[in-house]
Amino acid sequence: MGKKKKYAPLDVRDKRSARKKFPRRRKGVIVTGTYRGTGKGYAFLTPDAGGEDYYIPAFALGGALNGDRVRAEVFAEGGRTVAHVLEVLQQTTVYVVGTYAVGKNGDKVIIPDDGKICRLFVVESTAEGCRAPAEGCKVVGLPLERDGDLLYGELVETLGDPKTTNVDVLAVARTYGLSEEFPPEVQAVARNAPSSVSEKEIVNREDFRGDPIVTVDSADAKDLDDAICVKRRGNEFVLFVHIADVSYYVKERSAVDKEALKRGTSVYFPGCVFPMLPRELSNGICSLNPQEDRLTLSCVMNIDRRGRITASRIVKGVIKTLKRMDYDTVAAIVEGDEKARAEHSDVCEMLDAAKELAEILHDIRLRRGSIDFDIPEPKITLDENGVCTDVELYEHKVSHMMIEEFMLAANETVAETFDGLKVPFVYRVHEAPPADKQQSFIEYLSTLGIEFKGGDSRDYSDLLEKVKGTPDERAVSRTALRAMSKAKYMTKDIGHFGLALKHYCHFTSPIRRYPDLQVHRIITEFISRSGRGMKKYAAIAENAAERSSVREQIALTAERRITDVKKAEYMKSRIGETFDGTVSSVTEWGVFVELPNCVEGLVRKETLGADPVFDEKRRIIVCGGEVWNIGRAVKVMCSGVEHDKVDFVLAGSDDKKKSSRSADRSGAANK
């Protein structure tokens, strides 16, 4: 390829060119938000503050790619409100992953898997060490320049034949910059991590090793960062939530800490994980493995039978878990399975007390107004080659509820404690729904004949309870969820709307989430220094909160994407089969139908019948006297699958042939 080209980063290069492309004669309003690509040469901006999306013309894309967080200037132009991207604040799409092809003119191109990124990626150079791909291979490109809906850049990695094991997983991982490997300097530190707890450190901690402490997690989990114990004491319960003291092993500004901050969170794919910390730490000395001494930060809470926390303390501890347990086994024990209780007689009394306490806490939470959407989650089963062989629903057992309630109690207690101490901290916050989204939701409910005035979380909780069991339940629940704000991390404790809590943080997963690790570091410092010298954490906490919020959204997007890819893979062998489903959403280009196992596919509007009309306000499509609305039961046939998209047609429809377009899924479905 000759001498390798050197480019400035995409956002810097395009910032300079953007200034030349559009005039600065008028001053607009500066906003920040998320860039939403279309792959058609223009895009939209979704403002952080909520409200309508703004149109971004082709000449003002500013080097942004789908999902990036950007700063833009918004003003009236040609009778509409438009946005011009000024700066890319945070890249979500670092690389472009797609299919390698050679055009008739000899141009080497990448056809992106995500059609919202661009129309084509033109390969101008190849990185050293990148093996030459064959046509049809999955490859990775680094974007360096853009021109409207075209990207230009460097081919950096050849993943291989898309039918090869794990290529689909690597493709999604590379799209979002996820790596299973750690830099050499991080790995070197991890390899030198101790394999056991030092006796010198134990003497400085509260010793809980005589308690019947257990971890409760999925059977295949390897990073165990929380353990629990519940005791009855008079008319009260004592709840012990023990969390791995990761901050003892991951020091501030160390190589491991810097890499953890960069990653922000562990990302979980079916069959694999992209960990925040090296496995020597996450699965080793930090993990609360059974019958091994482990260092913890422990939150101890006295709780009366009305669910009120009467006393609490947060201490540095040492534990030795009695058993590693999974959700199925714990559920069997507390629900009276004789065989399970006989096998685990040493923890039955403790778990019975835990169930009783959890039910009290759960009841008080719901009466407080905590919103429970009860959204089903898919469970993906893979064969030895990583191919999806089954998609079913996760069963939410009483044991899941128990652990959830205990973690919520600890997170609330820690947040309330440190808000009262007025030291820098990282909180988990959830704001009330934006006014425009709430108004839109109210108007939608009115079309169903449901009166709703909005308000606090209790009002939303009461609404969901009111429609439970009615034909409108699914429609109302899904639409209410879309009206909600996104939870995020902040250094200001403004409460959690969805949980109906005044104080909340993330304290319970420091192996998997950076905010929890930073919270632990602040707590440990506060305990060690008796609250002195904490001001230095103001900037550190702010940085951790901001970066962790961004990385969380990237992780969620990546996890949803790979789940969709695996669902689609499962449906490839079921093309032509008929299924019962429910309309899950209605859009201008058709209706999405969800099967009982959470697989979702699109029935295009034009296949519903003659002259279909989309009513945006009511979120319905009217066609030939029929109304297609969220929650409607429908029978569909799988007509095609492409990458992470599934096509359905109505079972028995005459439009089967024209709906099968697995080779060309362009248009509004990729909007």
Q: Is the CATH number of domain 574-670 2.40.50.140?
A: yes
Rounded mean pLDDT of 472-484? 87
What are the backbone angles phi and psi of residue 320, rounded to the nearest 5°?
A: -140, 105
Looking at residue 447, its pLDDT comes to: 85
pLDDT at 12 over 70: no
Cα separation of 137 and 575, whole Å?
24
Enumerate the domain spans of the chain: 1-164, 191-413, 432-484, 574-670
> What are the tens digits of pLDDT across the range 511-520?
999 999 999 9
> What are the tens digits of pLDDT across the range 101-125?
998 888 999 999 888 888 889 999 9
Looking at residue 9, its pLDDT comes to: 37
Q: Are 663 and 655 in contact (CB under 8 A)?
A: no
Q: Any residues with CB less than 8 A from the CB of 171 and at least 6 apart, and which?
A: 97, 113, 138, 159, 162
Nearest CA among 405, 365, 375 for reference residue 480 = 375
pLDDT at 665 over 50: no
Q: Are 138 and 130 in contact (CB under 8 A)?
A: no
Q: Are 319 and 296 in contact (CB under 8 A)?
A: yes
Looking at residue 664, its pLDDT comes to: 36
Torsion of the alpha carbons at 175, 178, 180 and 182, rounded to the nearest 10: 130
pLDDT at 385 over 50: yes
pLDDT at 669 over 80: no
What count of other Cβ atoms lies within 10 Å of the Cβ of residue 635?
Answer: 13
Percent of the chain at pLDDT > 70 equals 93
> What are the tens digits of pLDDT across the range 536-550?
999 999 999 999 999
Q: Any residues with CB less than 8 A from the CB of 627 and at least 6 apart, and which?
A: 620, 621
pLDDT at 448 over 90: no
Of 44-53, 187-196, 220-229, 453-462, give the lowest mean pLDDT range: 44-53
> What are the tens digits of pLDDT across the range 418-430?
999 999 999 999 9
Of 286-300, 365-379, 495-509, give the lowest mean pLDDT range: 365-379
Looking at residue 26, its pLDDT comes to: 57
Looking at residue 630, its pLDDT comes to: 87
What count of other Cβ atoms lies within 10 Å of the Cβ of residue 418?
Answer: 24
Rounded mean pLDDT of 14-25? 41
Rounded mean pLDDT of 5-9? 36
Looking at residue 184, its pLDDT comes to: 96
Rounded mean pLDDT of 488-507? 97
Nearest CA among 246, 128, 199, 252 for reference residue 516 = 246
Looking at residue 62, its pLDDT comes to: 86
Sign of the torsion formed by the C-alpha atoms of 169, 174, 180 and 181: positive
Q: 1-164 and 574-670 share one CATH topology? A: yes
Looking at residue 14, its pLDDT comes to: 41
Looking at residue 640, its pLDDT comes to: 95
Cα separation of 435 and 440, whole Å?
9
Structure tokens at 89: 């604040």
Q: Which of 56-65, 85-94, 253-262 has the highest mean predicted lDDT (pLDDT)?
A: 253-262
Looking at residue 653, its pLDDT comes to: 52
**What is the dotted CATH code of the domain comprising 1-164?**
2.40.50.140
pLDDT at 617 over 70: yes
Percent of the chain at pLDDT > 90 equals 70
- Gyration radius from the chain CA atoms: 26
pLDDT at 79 over 80: no
Q: What is 146-190 written as a DSSP string? A: EETTEEEEEEEEEEE-TTSTTHHHHHHHHHTT--SS--HHHHHHH
> What are the tens digits of pLDDT across the range 623-646?
888 899 888 899 999 999 988 899
Give the burial class of 348: count Cβ atoms within 10 A of its Cβ; 0-12 exposed, 13-18 middle, 19 or more buried. middle
Nearest CA among 565, 373, 577 for reference residue 460 = 373
Cα→Cα distances 554→90, 337, 405, 482, Å: 11, 41, 27, 18
Looking at residue 11, its pLDDT comes to: 39
pLDDT at 255 over 90: yes
Q: Tokens 């101790």 appear where?
A: 194
Structure tokens at 185: 């300097």
